[in-house]
Chains A and B, each alone.
Chain A
Amino acid sequence: MDGDLSPQDKKDLDKFIKFFALKTVQVIVQARLGEKICTRSSSSPTGSDWFNLAIKDIPEVTHEAKKALAGQLPGIGRSMCVEISLKTSEGDSMELETWCLEMNEKCDKDIKVSYTVYNRLSVLLKSLLAITRVTPAYKLSRNQGHDYVILYRIYFGEVQLSGLGEGFQTVRVGVVGTPVGTVTLSCAYRTNLAFMSNRQFERSAPIMGIIVDHFVDPPCSSQRPANMGQPCNYRPPDEEDGGPFAGVQDSQEVCTTSFSTSPPSQLYTSRISYQSPALTGAAELCHPGVNPNQMLHAGKEGGVVLVPAQPPHGADAHLTVDHAPNTPGSSGDDDGLSQSGDGRSDGRRDEGRRSVSPSDPVESLAAFTRKVGAFVNKPSTQVTAASLDLPFAAFAPRGLDSEENDPMVHPPDSPASSSPLQASLHSQGSEGSQQQDDFVMVDFRPAFSKDDLLPMDLGTFYREFQNPPQLASLSLHISSQSMADDLDSLPEKLAVYEKNIDEFDAFVDMLQ
């Protein structure tokens, strides 16, 4: 089979296939870095661009590819595969696609190696560039960062597609016939992304509390089991560093593959940002194990954080006082319910700062609305909505409260203390009983306030009207009595009507 091929052609062909394999890996990995790729066209040939395409060489990737190839070339039965997988911050991983560069026996003897094969390999690389932006993993890789990262793994030998789940699709990028076989490039990608449907892969910052693995190593740490992939991330090098991955220096007539980018000074730089300890502390505070229905998320949506009612520790008080100048409600204004309308990543930090403490922190056991400060210890007691004496407390999300705690059924007592915060939230009337005696009590009933004077509330009213008294005319003994009377009086009535029959007839004639 090789007899027809001149030694020079054979040598060229081997070189082409080797560098085609390396460039294929570069294109695939770069397409999964998560950012847009842009290279410049150059009209003057520098002789350093394989296949006349400006494809950067990331040294680590070249190193990995060469390690996998181990001096061999893709051949019949020996395929080069690039596996792209996804790994979440919780450690779950899933294979997304496998790109295969294979060779089969079908030879094209008549084809010119140095010209036609080279150009066709160039077209195939362009096709690869286009197709790598089309498979589903591209969108996922563009959104990587907080919740997950994309990893790659290069291996040589038998193609393994079992990790792609059921129903995986295959797309063929292209084929190029050569005198020693046909080069085929294809991609098998997963279609069953069910594993991911429970996770949130949004671009926005995660809601506080979901990432609780601050103290776990990020998935891209340098200690990694050998069969896991490398992260698809790359920081352009800032400095000229010798590094372990010097540029590829193969010398040949047609092209060199190396670009003059210097290798990165640090391996596997991770671009995942994790929450700082303070924020995670606050995150845990949001979910300290209380009934989740009582807690409102303070992340993206802003809003109120109902926190357990516990006398603030000395540390807390200290912290809240410290933060007071920064908070909008520190002067006791009615900003307790202010929304965290900040940007998402800042919201976490601000939310910690925005704690508003009542002026008498020790006294306000009963009711308050307080934002949580960072570094606040995890309180242990619970607060139920019923103990919050707010106008809308009855409508606050609550868990499976029993009826005893239901403020709709049992209106809570008026608060014992009057913190400035409460004063702002209540009308003065509802606290009338607690006012000083000098003032005349005004029976002021604003809408929706709880009214202690009226004994009946909505629930009682409803129950009463579910059992109304019987209508008098419908009661049985009375009805039967009247029926008998009616029957008795009938003959008399009939006699009267017969007497007046002429009048009735005249009336009817008038109507017609």
Chain B
Amino acid sequence: MNCRSEVLEVTVEARQVEEAMLALLHTILLHRSTGKFHYKKEGTYSIGTVGTQDIDCDFIDFTFVRVSSEELDRVIRKAVSEFKDALSNSGSDGMGQISLEFFQKKKSRWPFSDECIPWEVWSIKVNVVNLANEQERQICREKVGEKLGEKVINVVEVINRHEYLPKMPTQSEVDNVFDTSLKDVQPYLYKIAYQITDSLGTSVSTTMRRLIKDTLAL
């Protein structure tokens, strides 16, 4: 089974990085999260309800929708904030990439550890620019808002092709497919990683941080 890979590129000002990343990551996760599963006796299950929330950006003329889950929001914000710090520390011509990977765990027999098999990877390439004056910043606000709108349409387009999705698991397998650690929603298992490249395009400092969402880290 091949892993689906999608790349989105955005060019933003330094102060817009956080909101742009949040907007895109949350839009993807909105589509890749379900309500909490509650398994019943006969092998059937019922699904909880996912609420949504409109979030206005402060530095971009844009509003995005995310799932109403404070826990999930905290996790994503933490990852984006680390990415943003790494980007700003790398220098003024910051270029970087943050990736959201959905994977499935495949149990292996001892002594081999579980395999993580990605089935969908979203890579968001970020190009940070510096603007000279307030007028340019105002234009940038609007332009980045429009660009993010286009990216959301791209995301929706890909997702609505309804290509491979992991099968709905039985109760024993649910942790191999979904992240069940959150109280209110259940996204597919995912991990976020980022890497920073310098202005020449070579990855001078490949800082790979893995935020592993599954509890087993063998």
A-to-B contact residues, CB < 8 Å:
36-47, 49, 52-54, 115, 120, 122-124, 126-127, 129-131, 133-135, 138-139, 142, 171-177
Contact = CB atoms under 8 A, between A and B. Distances in A.
Nearest to B56: A36
B212 interface: no
16 contacts: A38-B51, A41-B35, A45-B38, A45-B48, A52-B47, A53-B50, A53-B52, A54-B52, A115-B168, A122-B34, A133-B54, A133-B65, A172-B160, A173-B156, A176-B162, A177-B162
B10 interface: no
Given A45-B46, A126-B30, A172-B157, A134 B152 contact: yes
Contact of A52 (B50, B53, B184): B50
B17 interface: no
B119 interface: no
A173 B31 CA distance: 13
B69 interface: yes
Contacts of B48: 41-45, 52
Interface in B46-69: 46-56, 61, 63-65, 67-69
Contacts of A126: 30-31, 52, 65
B19 to A, nearest CB: 14
Given A41-B49, A54-B49, A130 B68 contact: no
Contacts of A44: 36, 38, 48
Contacts of A134: 149, 152-153
B52 A131 contact: no
A174 B156 contact: yes
B50 A41 contact: yes
Contact of A54 (B30, B51, B155, B162): B51
Interface string B90-118: 00000000000000000000000000000
Contacts of B53: 36-39
A184 to B, nearest CB: 10
Q: Chain B interface secondary structure, helix, strand, loop or mixed?
A: mixed
B68 A39 contact: yes
A130 B46 contact: no
A106 to B, nearest CB: 14
A49 B56 CA distance: 26
B27 interface: yes
Interface residues of B, number: 38
Contacts of A54: 49-52, 68
B183 interface: yes
B200 to A, nearest CB: 34
Interface in B146-166: 149, 152-153, 155-157, 159-160, 162
B152 A130 contact: yes
B64 A133 contact: yes
Contacts of B52: 37-39, 53-54, 126, 129
A117 B27 CA distance: 21
Contacts of B31: 123, 126-127, 130
B61 to A, nearest CB: 7
Given A120-B162, A130-B27, A173-B156, A41 B185 contact: yes
B126 to A, nearest CB: 20
A42 B67 CA distance: 11
Nearest to A48: B49
Interface string B59-91: 001011101110000000000000000000000
A62 to B, nearest CB: 18
A139 B68 contact: no
Contact of A127 (B35, B50, B55, B160): B160
B47 A45 contact: yes
Nearest to A37: B54
